[in-house]
A and B are shown apart, each in its own frame.
Chain A
Amino acid sequence: MTLEFNRLTKRFGEHVVLDAISAQIPSCSALALLGPSGGGKSTLLRIIAGLLISEKGSLCLNGILVPNREGELLHYRRAIGTVFQAFNLFPHLTALENIALPLRLAHGMSKVEAQAAAFALLERFRLTEHAHKKPGALSGGQKQRVAIARAASAKPKLLLFDEPTSALDPEMTAEVLDLIGELRAEGRDIIIVTHEVGFARSVADRVIFLADRKIMESSTAERFFSAPQTAEAAAFLERILKY
């Protein structure tokens, strides 16, 4: 994928979250958005996901301008899978229905096709025994795996992850990260906001370092981790790798 931001600005009320950021990301397949909390990573991811519309500036994904009207964004979003920190499964639906419903409503499958596709995915993600449980009866790791299955179900070219492991304990983190690694190996492009720097280092080939409403650094993963160019990035890496 390629990405291009052009003076992208996002405000919430008076609070500026992204301040006219510009960057060109040449061809890459896994992009990690890193940086301290409150730096605008999740906001940027939501703009890329078509869930937020920026006040100013533009964004191109794979050379195509991302629409800034809700009506057009609907189709844009259907081609992208998004996974959230808090799983965001529908609490009134079973794991199976959580995956099957979007396939039916947004991707034109019949009920039978959608159920079969959802079941196949659960099987692949080793969740078959939990197919008919509602999210309340699943562990955090299971919930996030169902959420990832849902995001990947329509076979989107691009998958977005917003701190997918921040709400999980270490054991569950590992199983979720393994799954993301698998999807990446399958040839799907991913963009991930994460605090798991070790994982970012192993999976990503590009890094954007966001701090203080700005892109501080945009470089290859290799260069970012071995020789960060800005003092902020160096300090961030040092802090996070200390323990």
Chain B
Amino acid sequence: MKRLLREWFWIPAPHEPERGRVARQWSGPLNLVLAAALTGIFLVWALQTSIANWDWAAVWEYRALFVSGWLMTLAISASTLAVSTFLGTGLAILRRSRFLPALGLAKLYVEVVRGTPLLVILLVGFYGVANAVGLHDRYIAGSLILSFFSAAYISEIIRGGLESVGATQLESARAAGFTRWQTFRYVTLPLATRNILPALTGQFALLIKDSSLLSVISVSEFTMNAQQVASRTFGTLESYLPLAAGYLLITLPISAAARTLERALQYES
């Protein structure tokens, strides 16, 4: 009995004997299912009053609002991911620049943006900056402001990754006669990418969820639409559970893709 418990619920320490093949292969999935079941039981217990009288019919009426909001969030997320990664890379490069004014500007930008609430940046950005430059489309303006906000965080992640590439690798690239661009493209970038990926995936998830704040400038994205449905139907849980599922539907595939990419870039150093 004791052995069986050890086999299925413990990963042996490096000095301990290996487990059998079946347990090695299936203990992971088994425990995942167990964890999911426990979580489910807890949720049902915690929400029992709501569940007792929930009403999906009212919410189903508004399914189009969910779909359009989800699609909007997906579009905002996709464009923001691309733009903020691009901006973040640029900022990270400036942050490592040996040209002092550029370095100072990048440092200041990162510090100020990271220390300011997104809500303030959105409001100032939209009613101030975007107005001043004549950008009135709230969807484009909102995505751009979110990109600039997230770029500050992403630049720090990328900078860490770039700095993790050893001096010996860079010397080796110079000795091989690579130009600075070739060194970046063929040595620094692939080596840094692997080190950046885990932190970047987390930042992407935050970014996707942060897009819900765009509702303060009246962008009718997923969260805002769900709020509307909730206030019209009085079905709070029935509106917000699909909301959670909808966000997971975007973030989980990104995590999975990042893990695949991480494995592809695997090497021993």
Q: Does B154 contact A (CB under 8 A)?
A: no
Give the CA-CA distance A135 to B269 in the complex, in Å: 8
Contacts of A49 in B (CB 8 A): 175
Q: Does B103 contact A (CB under 8 A)?
A: no
A94 → chain B, closest Cβ, in Å? 10
Contacts of B169 in A (CB 8 A): 88, 90-91
Query: Chain B: interface secondary structure?
Result: helix
Contact of A51 with B178 in the complex, beta carbons under 8 Å: no
Give the CA-CA distance A102 to B186 in the complex, in Å: 10
Give the CA-CA distance A105 to B169 in the complex, in Å: 16
**What number of A residues sit within 8 Å (CB to CB) of B?**
25
B172, B174, B267: the one within 8 Å of A92 (CB): B267
Known contacts A88-B169, A91-B267; is A102 also within 8 Å of B187 by CB?
Answer: no
Known contacts A106-B177, A150-B176; is A91 also within 8 Å of B191 by CB?
Answer: yes
116-152 of chain A: CB within 8 A of chain B: 134-137, 150-151
Give the CA-CA distance A137 to B194 in the complex, in Å: 18
B168, B174, B186, B269: the one within 8 Å of A77 (CB): B174
Contact of B190 with A102 in the complex, beta carbons under 8 Å: no
Contacts of A91 in B (CB 8 A): 169, 191, 267-269
Give the CA-CA distance A78 to B182 in the complex, in Å: 14
Q: Does A74 contact B (CB under 8 A)?
A: yes
A37 → chain B, closest Cβ, in Å? 19
Closest 8 CB pairs between A and B?
Answer: A136-B268, A106-B177, A78-B177, A88-B172, A102-B176, A82-B175, A91-B267, A105-B182
Chain B residues packing against A (C-beta within 8 Å) = 168-169, 171-179, 182, 186-187, 190-191, 194, 265, 267-269
A and B contact pairs by CB, cutoff 8 A, 11 listed: A77-B174, A82-B175, A84-B168, A84-B171, A89-B172, A101-B176, A101-B186, A105-B177, A105-B179, A106-B177, A137-B268
